Amino acid sequence: MLTQFLTDIWLVYRSVFEFALIGSALGLSIYITLRTGLLSLASAGFMSIGAYVGALLTIHLHTPLLVSVLAGALAAGVIGLLLGLPVLRLSGVYLAIATIGFGEVVRVFMLNIDNLAGRTITGGALGLNNIPRKTETWHLVLFVGLLIYLFVRIDRSRTGRAFDAIRQDHHVAASMGINVVQYRNLAFVLSALIAGAAGVFSAHLTYFVSPNEYGFNGAVRILTFAILGGYLIWLGPIVGAFILTFLPELLRFLGPYRPIVNGVVLILAIIYLPRGLVDPTFWRKVWRQRGKPPSPPPLETSSEAAP
């Protein structure tokens, strides 16, 4: 009786669960940049690179999934490194804009590379839709599990402390011997690697990739995970991804107005929950039964106004 019920639920929600796991990985990819005080909207572009590279390898060379995943992540990581070196000198608004520009360049590239090359590679606007389904639920669970391990270990190292210091005051961090540019590059490359791998898993889950899936809207969706869930600790973006993946399922009655949920959540979160649902300081205070509200905003303020 109960097992039957659970099996039914599983059948209905399995794919939502899988999407939530992919969303968690993507949320973690933007989280790592936010944690060093960078607003980067490049994750969707990295995901797209990973998805195409992985899918093309699988289709043409019949590589096993693991190889495709590693290759896709690596491709995104290399692009991330090449992009990050010049772009991370920018700060604040300017970096956000540069990464939006990057996402668009990737989209336009995937859309038009076939015409330029004179043969079918990415399939233009139609994308690739003959990708074998290879991603299993347990792959995704394992993937997110590994990412959690990664972040837990980062938290317990000088690298994690340096990330937090840079977010809170990068001048002070620098005068304590922290190489701000290098750590931000590290975060950016990690972000690209994670998004690239997530892209490969996603392509082998939906059998399908197309350029427009990963455009600006994709970037915004990913951002929403981390803003709602919180970006001060790894649990935040995961919680955000799960809520925002399951929520629309529960809000089917909204019909065509459904995408509005993301926008409303984004505004409400940034105004009323600036540190996200999972705020370690807040919970630590609750734990200690002290009542003071969490003080200053976590992202850096006006000193970042000019590049």
Partner 1 sequence: MFWQQLVNALWLGSVYALFALGYTLVFGVLDILNLAHGAVFMWGAFFGLLAVTKLNMPIWAALLVAMLGAGILGIVLDRVAFRPLRKRNAPQLAAIISSIGASTILVSLAQGAFGAQVSRFPFDTLPAQVFTAGPVRVTLVQVIVFAVSLVLMAALLLFMRRSRSGKAMRAVAYSGRISSLLGIDVDRIIVTTFFVSSALAGASGVFLGLAFSAISPFMGAPIELKGLAVIILGGLGNVPGAILAGFLLAATEVFGVAYVSSDFRDAIAFTVLILVLLIRPSGILGTAVERRA
Partner 2 sequence: MTPDAPLLQLSSVTKHYGGLAALNQVSFEIARGDIMGLIGPNGAGKTTLLNVISGLAQETSGTVLFNGGDITSLPAHRIASLGIARTYQNIRLFNEMTVEQNLLLGRHTRTRSGMASSLLLLPRQRREERQLRDDTAALLQRMDMLARRDAIAGELAYGDQRRIEIIRALAADPLLLLLDEPSAGMNESETEQLGRFILDVRNQGVTILIIEHDMNLISQVCDQVVVLNFGEVISQGTPQQVQSDPLVIEAYLGQEED
Question: What is the binding site for partner 1 (CB under 8 A)?
Answer: 39, 86-94, 96-98, 100-102, 104-105, 108-109, 112, 115-116, 170, 174, 180-181, 184, 215-217, 220, 223-224, 227, 255-260, 262-267, 270-271, 274, 297, 299-302, 304-307
Q: Which stretch binds partner 2 (CB under 8 A): 71-79, 80-88, 259-267, 290-298?
A: 290-298
CA distance 134 to 85: 34
**Residue from 88, 98, 162, 235 binding partner 2 (CB under 8 A):** 162
For partner 1, give the closer residue by CB, 67 or 174: 174
Is 75 among the residues that bind partner 2 (CB under 8 A)?
Answer: no
What residues from 178 to 237 belong to the interface with partner 2 (CB under 8 A)?
Answer: 178-180, 186
CA distance 217 to 204: 21
Q: H-helix or E-strand containing 242?
A: helix 235-250
For partner 2, give the closer residue by CB, 31 or 52: 31
Reduce the DSSP state of residue 207 to 3 states and report it: coil
Q: Residue 93 has which token pair?
A: 């608004």
For partner 1, give the closer residue by CB, 196 or 215: 215
Exposure on the CB side of residue 285, measured as CA atoms within 13 A: 10
Q: Measuring CA to CA, which residue among 300, 132, 263 is closest to residue 200?
A: 132
CA 110 centroid distance within chain: 20
- Shortest distance in whole angstroms from residue 182 CB to partner 2: 9
Is 258 among the residues that bind partner 2 (CB under 8 A)?
Answer: no
- Shortest distance in whole angstroms from residue 151 CB to partner 1: 22
Number of residues written out for the chain: 307
Which string of x and - marks every residue 141-160 that binds partner 2 (by CB under 8 A)? Answer: --------xx--xx-xxxxx
Rounded to a whole number of angstroms, the CA Rg of the chain reads: 20
CA distance 242 to 102: 27
Is 171 among the residues that bind partner 2 (CB under 8 A)?
Answer: yes
Residue with tokens 């709602």: 228
Residue type, 80: G
Chosen from partner 2, partner 1, none, partner binding at 169 (C-beta under 5 to 8 Å by type) = partner 2
Judged on CB neighbours under 10 Å (0-12, 13-18, 19+), 60 is exposed
Is 256 among the residues that bind partner 2 (CB under 8 A)?
Answer: no
Chosen from partner 2, partner 1, none, partner binding at 175 (C-beta under 5 to 8 Å by type) = partner 2
**Angle (nearest 5°) at CA 28 between 237 and 54:** 135
Chosen from partner 1, partner 2, none, partner binding at 176 (C-beta under 5 to 8 Å by type) = partner 2
Contact between 300 and 166 under an 8 Å Cβ cutoff? The reply is: no
Chosen from partner 2, partner 1, none, partner binding at 216 (C-beta under 5 to 8 Å by type) = partner 1
Interacting residues toward partner 2 by CB under 8 A: 149-150, 153-154, 156-162, 164-165, 168-169, 171-180, 186, 281, 292, 294-296, 298
